[in-house]
Structures are given as C-alpha cells and as structure tokens.
Structure 1
Amino acid sequence: MPRCQGVQRRKESTNYRLRVKVPTDLLTHYHPRKEITKSLGTSDYRTACDRARVERVKLDQEFAEVRAKLAAQAHLRTSLTPTEVDRLCALVHHSMIQADEDMRASGMAVDDLWFQRMAAHHEEVEQVYRLALARGDVSVVASALEDWLQGHGIELDPSSQEYRTLAYAFLKSVIRAAEVQAKRHRGEVVDTPPTPAPLPGPAPVQTTAEGELTLSGLFEKWKDENAQRVAPKSLQEFTATIRRFTELHGDLPLSRITKALVRDFKDALLKCPAASHLPIKHRGKSIRELIALAEKDRTLSRLSTRTVNDKWLGFLCAVLSWGTANGYLENNPASNVKATVSKVQDKARVPYSIEDVNFILRFPIFTKGERPRAGGGEAAKWLPLLALFTGARLGELGKLQVGDVRHERDVWYLDLMNTGTKTQGSKRQVPIHPELIRLGFLEYVEARRKAGGDGALFPDRAGKPLDTEAWSKWWGRYARSHGIEDRRKVFHSFRHTVKDGLRDSGVPFDLRSALQGHAVPGVGEGYGQGFALQVLAEAMAKLQYPGLALSHILPVGSKG
C-alpha cells in the first residue's frame, strides 16, 4: 500500500506515530516546537494510516483555531491615533443622524401629545449633554462609548489620557447629533452627511506562501471597492461573517473554499446562540466556543434560520460573488447554500394568546392560593403577573431585591439597573402597571420589607434570590400539567405577549424598546439619560389586553 506521509515507527517501539511540521506562519506561536508528534497507539501500519488521517484533520482544525485567535488579537486595538479618534467620532455622529432620518422617513405614528413630549425630551437630553460638556463629565457617554469601542475591536484603559481624549471628542459628536435631531423635530431640513470612511484596521495576511489570494485578502479588496456604499453597521456584519468563517475553517486560499465548507459553516451557525440573548462576557468567544456554550446551556436561543440565510450566508455569498465577477474565483461556492425554512415556521418561543393567559390565570396558584414548594412560594403567583404587566425577563424579576421597588415623582417602579440585566441597554427603570398595584403587589412588597428588610423580593428556602433557571423549568412542568401543552409556550412567552400588547395599545416603538430593555442601535435616545420616568409610566399605563379577566384573582394573603 502507498506510504502514509508523516507516519513512522517510534524509536525502541513497534508502535507508529505521526509527525507533522508546524506551519511557517505559526512557528512563533508554537515556539520552540517545530513539529507536532502524535502517538497512533498501534503497530499495524494500515490502522496507523487510518488513525493518522483523523489526527491530521484534528491538527488542521487546531491550526485554524490558532490562526483565528491570532487574527483576532492582531485586530484588537489598544491605542488610537488622532486620525482614528476623529474617524470614530464621525462614525457615531453619522450613525445617530442616519438612524434618526430612517425613523422619520418610515413615519412616526404618534399623536400630537406624544410628539410634543418627544420635543421636550430632545431638549432635556441636549441640556444634559451640554451640562456634562461644560463640566468635562464624560461619564454621560461612557456606556455608549464602551459599546462603540467593542464594536470596532478596540480596548482602551478608561483611566488613560488617551481614553479621556476620545471620550471628550465622542461627547461633542453626540451633542452635534442631538442638535440635528432637535432641529429635525422642529421641522428644519437637515441632510444626513455622507457615510464616513470606516476605521482602518491592520491589514490581514492576504496571500498564502505560494502567493494565492486568501478569503481575508479577497474581503480587503471587496472593502476597497464597496465600503463607502455600505452602512457602518452592515460593514461590521460583513466583517463578523468573514471572521467567523475563518475561525471555523482558517483563512483558506480561495481555491480551497468548497460548497461543502460553506455547508459546514451553515450547520455551525444554526447551532450558535443568538447574540441578542448572549451575556456580554461570552460575545468575544470563537464560533466553536459559542457552539459548545449553546450545547451546555439549552436555554440559549439559537440563531434563526432567517438570520443565518439573510445575514451570515448572504454576506458571505455577496463577497464571494463579487470575487467571482472580478475573476478571483471561477464560481461562487456559497451560491444556493441555504438553511431549510419550513413552510410553517417552527418558532422556538411563541407568545401566550389572551385565551392562554385567561387559562393560566385559572391555575390553582391564582384561584385557590396554591403555593407549590418548587414554585418559590409567592413567586408562583407574582412572577407570571409581573411578567404579564412589565415584559421583563425572568432573570431580572427573580433576582429583585425589596429595595428595587421604588417610588419617585409619584411613580412606583422596578429598578432594573443592576438586577440580572444582560446588556447595557437592559439597564432601566420599569414603571409598575396600575393593574399590579390594584392586585396588591405593593402590599406584598411591604410584607417582604417587614419580614426581611431589603433582602430578596422572592427568596428561596435559604432566603437568597430564586434560582431562576430551576424556576423556569418548574413553570414549564406546572403549566403543561395544567393544560398548556405547546412546548413553544414557556415563561419567556409572557415577554412576547407584552411586546405585542404594547404595540397593539399604540405605544410608540422607541418607548416600547425602552420599557422592555431593547437597544435601539444608532438612535440618539440610546445615548444618555433616556425617557423621563413619568413618560415611561404613561406609556406603561396604556398597556391593555382586551378580553383579559382578572376579577377572580385572590387578593394578597387569601388562601381560598
């Protein structure tokens, strides 16, 4: 049989081993090793060859992951030139103005009163920014700047003078954008400026040792021609797509990118958690690390089929199609590679209908004072009601402290600034709906205050905040045992119900987003103090569910 490359007998042994040279571009990483040796654990040559092929595949994957990590480190910026500071600020200024124009161009379905309140809000935000600028207080844009830097792969020490210089310039750019938004709100014509050039990054390795163009090299050529015509956010998504592909397969020469590799990329994406459901600490992980995380935590929502097709595969196909049209490839290996979409879309989670909610509100926890042990006592009653009238996440509600229920300017609200929030945009104040007050929620809070001070609002048996993951599983079992059989309808379905309810109740998009803790990328309201508490309270009070029956629910303290 033909000789297997790299397979040879070990000295003073009958067993075979595999010896593979470390690729030239990775010698520094593996120093002082220049080759990698793997024991094949057999003295049979045919078996050794079979095992060697498997080991070579594993090593190729290892080399690809190392290259991806080195590429990510190479793109991570820790310092900025004055030109780069100007470019970053120009990009955020344009992003805010463009988002504002898109919102107005699509039509703002708000009544006169809301429109007047939005005008007052613009003035208030502008005053806050100007006062901060006068005092040299850059903390007002700190969280927004952090997100902006992360999006561009930049790390800066917040205590450094470099960061201070950037933050001050960033604040001025935000003020200029807020001025434009205010002028447009008064009916003045202010055009959106052309898209600034993207922030330049270090040039990747564009060719192999043999001089063949790689995927990253093709992408650089694509950017040279197309970057000015693509919105900054879309350009970031294109960049992320190429990065993810190279994380999975390495920065391959174009001739080695096959339809099978694109298919494998598609399959990997379908196993990845959605970024919007992912804690910030995990967002820097490689695609293989994200898949492992999703397999370990089954509660994480996966990327939807539509997102995989329209964004990730769509962006990859667009770059490779450009390469084909310009003679860098003979054909596009990503062409027609799509994730299958069923005719009836199988959603991971669907909202509870009003019929579902009325059915749930007839469970014994609401009608007979039943308090299952695994349901956390009073949490079994109040968490569903809170979810129905706030749209907050279970992780936010279950970890509330008594002191997080607050009263300010005649508004009772839940302070979710530090309670189980997932992202900076999730930090918010949520006014308590009048129905919750009518049902006795404040009396429950006062009883907890008398019993445990400012401890957990929904304590477990040890007095600590609930284990919300375990509680979510209990809710699923309990709801199914009482008649909610559709496994797509879970506790998180309340959040979708509220989203639909706010929209159907006529609450504007930006206020719906503020109440539920959704970031609105690029919109000026996301940079700064947000909506006034009274405005949020009035929006929350608008939430109604026609046909909802609540009169039968037992008051606080009743046991049936």
Structure 2
Amino acid sequence: MRRGGAYSLRRRIPVDLIDAYGGRKEIVRALGTNDYGEAKRLHARMWVALDDEFQRYRSGLVAGEAVPVRPRPAEESWTQEQFEYEMESIGFFERQSLEYEWRQEERDRVERALAQDQDKLNAEQMAVRDLIRDAKADQKHAEQLLLLSRTPFSPEHQTPNDVNSTVDVDASCTFADLIDQWAKERGVSAKGVADHKSVVRWFEERVGKIGLANIEKRHVIDFKNGLVDSGQTSANIKVKLSRLRTVFSYAVSNAIIQANPAEGVTVLVKAGDGKSRLPFKADTLKLLFDGTVHTAGARPAGGKGEAAYWLPLLALYTGARLEELGQLRLIDLIDETYPTEGEAFANAKFIHIRSDARDGLKVKNAGSVRKVPVHSDLIRSGFLQFAEHQRALGQERLFSDLKPNKYGKLTAKWGEWFSGYRKECGVSHKGLVFHSFRHTFKHWARHVGIIEGVQRQIMGHSAKDVADGYGDGYSLHQIVEGMRLYRIPGFTPPIHPEFGQSATEV
C-alpha cells in the first residue's frame, strides 16, 4: 500500500502469534521507496522475512527465550473470537488485494477486454462484466457516503433529525427511466439496453409492478425461485440476476434508492450446467441431414433459401460461429498460394472470416479473424458451385436472403427457425443446438489428431499460451494439412442436387 509518498507493507499477524506481538493484529513496515518496481521487489523479500520471523516465534528462538504462543486453532474447535478474527482476516486480504497498485494494470486489461461490443461476449463474460461494473458502482457509492459522513453541517442548516436521516429516494423514477439513464451515461449498446429491459419485464411479470423504492430482497429471491421453478439453467439465472443487480446498483449510486435489493442473491450452479451444449453424434447428424431440406429440396421461409441447406454444413466442416457464416460475402471466398515443403507451392480455396465495419461484418475478437480451408466434403457437396451461382446472379453475400434484425444481426431469426427445424427432424435434446456444430468440429478434430494450436486457429479461439502469440500463427500449409485430416466417422454429407460434384471433379 502507499502511505504518503512511499510504499509500505501491511500484513496480518497470524492468530496464534498475537500474544507474541503484544496483542497487535497487524504489521506495517515502510519499504523506503516511492518507486513502484522497487517496492514490488522489497515487498516480496520482506514478506518472506516475516514468514521466517513467525516461524522463529513459534520455535521460541526470538531473543533467546520462549515467547507466549497461542495454540494454533483447529478448524473444528475455533472459538467465536477466533472465527471472527479469521473472517476479519479474510476481509483484510480481500481489501488488500484490491489496494495493491501493481494490480491496476491487470484490472485495466480485464476491463478493456470486457468493454468489447455486446455481440462479442458470451453469457458468462457478460455476467463477469456486469459484476465488475457493479463492484465499481458500489465502490463509488461507498466513497460518496464516506465523503458525506465527513462533511460538517453548518449549525444554521442542521436539524435535530440530521444524525438519523437517510438518503431520500426518487419515487417517480421507473425502471424504464432508470435503464435509459444508465444506458446514456454508460454508453450501452441498443442490444444491451434491450437485454436489461427484458430482464425487468421478467421480474415484473413474476413479482408484480412494484415501485423501485418498495422493492425488497425478498422480491428478488421470489424472482430467482420462479426462474428455478420454470426450468431456467443456473447460467441463465445468474445472467438475469447480474443484469438486475446492475440496474439496482446504478440506482443506488444515483440516490434513487437506498440499497441494492439484488445484492447477495445468487443461484447455486447445478451439476451438468457447465456443459449444456453437446457435440452431435453420427446418428444424430444423420437424422438432421435426412430432413426435408437436405433430401427433398424443401426451402422453408424461415430457413431463408439456400441458407437452410448450407449453414449447418458449413458449421460442421469449419467450426465457425453462426453469425460468422451468415455474414459471409463472395469476396470472402479466396484463393491462396502458399509454400509447402522445400521450394514447392500449392493453391487452395479458403473462407476468410474477418471484420469489416463498412459492410457490418463483426467477429468476436482479434483472434477470430482467420482463413479456414474449404473442406473437400464441402466441395463435393457443391458449396463452391453454389458460390459461383450466387456470383452469376450478381449477389454480394453468399446468403442474400438473410436480413439483419434491429441490432444488425443477420442470423438471429434464422437461428430461431433452425431450433424448430431440428426438432422436426427428431433432434430434440436441449443440449443439441446450432452451436453444437462447433463442439462437434472440436471433438472430431481432436479425435483425428489435428494439432491443438491448428484447431484453435481454424476455429478462431484465442491463443492458449504465450508462444502462440509469436509470428503469424501456424502456416497455411499446416492449416490445410490439418483440415485434410478432419472427418466424422459414420457420417456422409449430403450432395446438393443442383450444385454437387463427383469425387473425380473434386
């Protein structure tokens, strides 16, 4: 911690050594420097020295004689005093970890990552982001209250009730007003606003329309219990509670309500919730691709023409995300010449997944920009021929029938259609969704022995270790050879009746 202009170490004294230190409960020692890097080095050395000092006390070697040392409490036999001390110590270390200035860089890095566009974050990441924002808002509110408590009142303005007075609440403020004010101040995207208003609607449907000032923790608990009873997953409930907590936290920090009624309300994660999405097995894929779209030429309105046929196949043979595929343009199908071994070169067709603000193309993160080789099974099914057909029609996008929703997402409605279609095909397990194609690609890529880093690069996953961040990643030759290994035992992909090619042509 920083004291004045220089750094100091602060450490709790172990409970069994309090008497040895004359009843003191913590040690504060100056590090003698205002240089951050030097303070880190000195802190580490002094911390180890204190460990040694504690051990010498326990061994009776300090000052050449034994010192009083309390028995180290066994967990099962702690007194109330010892328990309270331990809980106080836990709180101390939690606060201390937040105060260390050299952690600021890491905290800033996390906040920058979580400040990405809403569409780039999954539900878990959004929950983490909301929790961080809650914590910052709570800290700001606590600082404001502390400042108020230290501000002296002028006698002419002080009343007999000032000592026990509380913050006035704004009874006229509605949930909708609150979210609009929060969104404007925080620069929240339209989708973020809609997500939070949706949670508020859920809340009011289950507990009734209660004025903000009258909402209590029991109402939030009733809301949570209602979600549990309705079969919502723990992950979904946590996201909803986090969004509700964010709204209430903002209300507290702006003196609209006195306390956050959602604070501390959570849900236990049930076994199995962490792996809700499953890979497709060969027999399930057969059910899906034996459906009317791939065998009878059906093109339902919700499937948006040829998107109904190609998006599942592309996902199965690229591991790409739905929106990454739905937004593909014809110019994103590219030919690349690349070195192989020795002085040899080869040429292959790639799907270039990238962002383009002008055309509204988005990817999840920087690591999601990549070139994915077109698998031979896709070529045999007729994918490249389909692309040429779209080019001849003068289309710019592969799936020109897909239209963006109000948030600019092309595949939102298509995803809803696919959810119903897979059930029509007999694939009804709730863990088998479109994203399961991505899990399937990962499963079989691992099964056939594609190098882990090559798998990640094809799928657009972030680097797993520091070495992955050096150079330009794996070469196109390694990516192509990895994709050449990929197959799904027991599954034969369908051949498009108009665009399909023979094995010889491929």
Q: What interval of TM-score do these two structures reach, taking the shorter chain for normalisation? A: 0.3 to 0.5
Task: Compare CA radii of gyration and give the structure with the larger one.
Answer: 2
TM-score scaled to structure 1, two decimals?
A: 0.43
